[in-house]
Amino acid sequence: MRAMRRPSPRRKRASDVTAQPLVIAAVGDLIVDQPEPGRFFRDVTAHLRAADLAIGHIEVPHSTTTEVTSVDVPAPPADPRHLAAVADAGFGVVTLAGNHIYDSGATGIADTIAAAARVGMVTAGAGADLPAAKRPAVREIAGRRVGVVSYNCVGPRESWATSRKAGCAAVDVLTHYEMRNANPGGPPRVRTFCDPASLQAFRDDIAAVAAETDVLVVALHKGLVHTPARLADYETEIAHAAIDAGAHAVIGHHAHIGRGVELYRQRPIFHGLGNFVTVTDALTPSHDSSEEAAAWAAGRAEVFGFVPDPAMPAYPFHPESRHTMIARLTIGDEVAASFVPCWIEDDGRPVPHGRDARGEQILEYVRSISARAGLITRYDWDGDLIRVH
């Protein structure tokens, strides 16, 4: 068994003694693929701008290219101009390492990075080659270097960057299916784990960035998509590895539905921040973006057990995914975790809630999915925030 390593030592600054804690806000998946995208952020902008840094995950390319490289269900690219609404809402860093970022090839990645840069956002997780994809987004805040790295844990392999190919930073996750009884073809026990060499490379990457920054947030595109509560084995493995290597916090996205929060060595792991602004008609049954998308939409109920609410045509996601949050990390000598409970309205717009009936509903949902996932975490109100401890 690998010996547990303590978080990497950090460079000491004279200002550290008197520095105020940093507040970092983070949300899950962003798909801004509808007209007038700024309207979807109007209720959350104050919370995002109040933080020293806000982080979100860009799920699809933002480009005008017609190039298609995915052999899965390709996500059509969104308008690059829509990223201005993301920046206006208060985001300073956006992560890109996800399963759709290479759907429009190298052109889509380059266009997305350029569009984000034009509106003042720094990207992490994808680039023209592997070193660029692994490069952290770094913001200097109150004399401290805050780093964000972004890794894809879910594939597809063609989206991964190499030394000579554009793509995203990735960790190779393996799946083992074990027959549980003498019933060939019956439901197996499924085990997942990180390829050891890939996981070690990830640890080394995180430790190297931790040594060059004062605060480090690791974003992981991971989890069982559209599936409430469950955590796959590898999710804990890789999140713990990130903390052991020096991360202050881990934030997860990809599943398009919320997950619970874990405290590991007094540092928070938001296993899945769920959807935030995810408005698109690309997965509605009537949409003609591709034959593959239409087939996926038609088989969604069989595969994932839900049908989107017909009253929300631009929000083709699990009904439980309307429970979401803005994670808050307060980083001083220690890391304190909390979140703003949010509800996604019928028009796809996330709305924050304090200690009202909807806020209590969201709190109970997070408690429930945490317990079902086996997480031993307490959640309590602190004003309009929910503290994690």
- Any domain includes 5: no
Comparison of pLDDT for 276 and 69, the residue scoring more = 276
Instruction: Look at residue 322 and tell me if it is in a domain.
Output: yes
pLDDT for 130 equals 98
Q: Is residue 6 part of a domain?
A: no
**Is a pLDDT exceeding 60 seen at residue 8?**
no
Residue 3 confidence (pLDDT)? 43
Domain with 91 in it: 14-388
What is the pLDDT, as a whole number, of residue 181? 81
Q: Does 34 fall in a domain?
A: yes
- pLDDT, one tens digit per residue, over 78-115 is 999 999 999 999 999 999 999 999 999 999 999 999 99
Q: What is the pLDDT of residue 306?
A: 84
pLDDT band at 284 (very low <50, low <70, confident <90, very high): low
Q: For residue 270, is it within any domain? A: yes
User: Residue 16 — pLDDT band, cuts 50, 70, 90?
Assistant: very low
Q: Which one has a higher pLDDT value, 69 or 344?
A: 344
Give 70's pLDDT tier (boundaries 50, 70, 90): confident
Residue 227 has pLDDT above 60, yes or no: yes
Above pLDDT 70, what percent of the chain? 92
Average pLDDT on 127-139 reads 98
- Round the average pLDDT of the chain to a whole number and report it: 92
Task: Please state the domain count of the chain.
Answer: 1
For residue 105, being part of any structural domain is answered with yes
* pLDDT for 374: 97
Position 299 scores a pLDDT of 72
Does residue 139 fall inside a structural domain?
yes
CA 154, CA 172: separation in Å to the nearest integer? 8
Query: Looking at the predicted structure, is the pLDDT value of residue 4 above 80?
Result: no
For position 221, which CATH number holds?
3.60.21.10
Q: Looking at the domain assignment, is residue 345 inside a domain?
A: yes
